[in-house]
Structure 1
């Protein structure tokens, strides 16, 4: 068995990769329009909005997401679908260039107020300061699998609990693992394995979310789409 690298090394490697804004794969990994192409880029937001609205309907919540923060906004693929029906949109990411691009894309499609939020990958909780209990919806999509490990992923869930108002929804996607050993999360070589660094068992993430102070209510699985495989989407409600 190949030994894992220490968490500090994995976090440092993640910081280096996302802050570089360079390399042939970076625009696609960051879900920029010029990285995915128009069709796939627009499909990401449409598909996620459809899942969100099914969850909202099933939980008797408003179809509009209210005040939204997207944690890991990338190049705005989700933002351009959610922001037009939001009352405010916060674009949060560890990559400053992605925050700027996301804000630009939102301003192209709507007049919803949009606020840039830069996240320090080593101290993400700093982004909460002054924003506690201020958001109705917390989006985190195509992000959890990119974290440096399970505990780093769960920091994001705890941040969601802090940012949400009572009754607000965290709409979070993870990459789930199966009985196949190859679907376990990698714990080394971040650049090579970034899209599979952190995976969870379907029930495992449900239970860990409870530990983080959120109540799981609904889940849907997407075993495969044009981007990748083994996506699980959760509707988590703050009590």
Structure 2
């Protein structure tokens, strides 16, 4: 390619990127509007698909519901073994517990399970499901979607495992997702592990997170580049240790799971 043609191609590519960015910005909503839409969605269990999106038993088909907890427990076991951490932690908190699909797998392993969610109904259902499978004490923690940090006050350095899966992609934007890292950093004991899953994007612009229409796009609102979330975790006081990718499972695609420890 001649220098002139190379320069022309670069100019066309830059123009395309600028147009793409302009379209995304014109189509975006202010963060506070997206947070408000998210709050309204998760507080109303009459919304279409709410029980499926909250991973309630019956909202998902039984094989899919059961696979949520078993798949994530297997990932946890792999991370814990590799990092020489207990596979039976004392206190586990699940940030975004939904209807208990993960809780029924993790609660029998621990001495105390904390079900945290923005929905009081989901917390109650999660605790009910735990009671069906074990006698581990389970308590609820209601998260204010506008002030998630408030849920961590008085609980600093109390949890051995911070579990957060199928949640980050539902947040109203990357700014909100990174507040979950802050919550994990506050609540974990020294040496404790956060197992956090994100939906990753690729070079395909269609895989990027959305900035409007929360109800329509809720499962793809927030995505990260794989390396970016690793870097962000370190910036928020956690030490990235391991990562595993699940390009596709029963529910969706492009999942990245991180093992992050608190120094």
**TM-score scaled by length of structure 1:** 0.99
1:135 aligns with 2:159: yes
Q: Which residue of 1 aligns with 2:172?
A: 148
Q: Which residue of 2 aligns with 1:55?
A: 79
Q: Which residue of 2 aligns with 1:14?
A: 38
Distance 1:44 1:65 in 2: 20
Superposition pairs of residues 83-232 of structure 1, within 5 angstroms: 83-232=107-256
Query: How far apart are 1:29 and its partner, in Å?
Result: 0.3
State the SS of the aligned residue for 1:33: coil
Q: 2:41–2:47: 8 Å Cα contact kept in structure 1?
A: no
Unaligned 5+ segments in structure 2 are: 1-22
Q: Which residue of 1 aligns with 2:18?
A: none
Structure 1 consecutive aligned stretches of length 4 or more whose deviation exceeds 6 Å: none
Query: How far apart are 1:207 and its partner, in Å?
Result: 0.1
Q: 1:90–1:116: 8 Å Cα contact kept in structure 2?
A: yes
Distance 1:179 1:78 in 2: 31
Distance 1:92 1:63 in 2: 21
Q: 2:116–2:142: 8 Å Cα contact kept in structure 1?
A: yes
Distance 2:90 2:193 in 1: 10
**TM-score scaled by length of structure 2:** 0.90
Q: Which residue of 2 aligns with 1:75?
A: 99
Q: 1:65–1:82: 8 Å Cα contact kept in structure 2?
A: no
Q: Deviations over 1:165-205 (max 9, x none)?
A: 00000000000000110010001000000000000000000
State the SS of the aligned residue for 1:73: coil
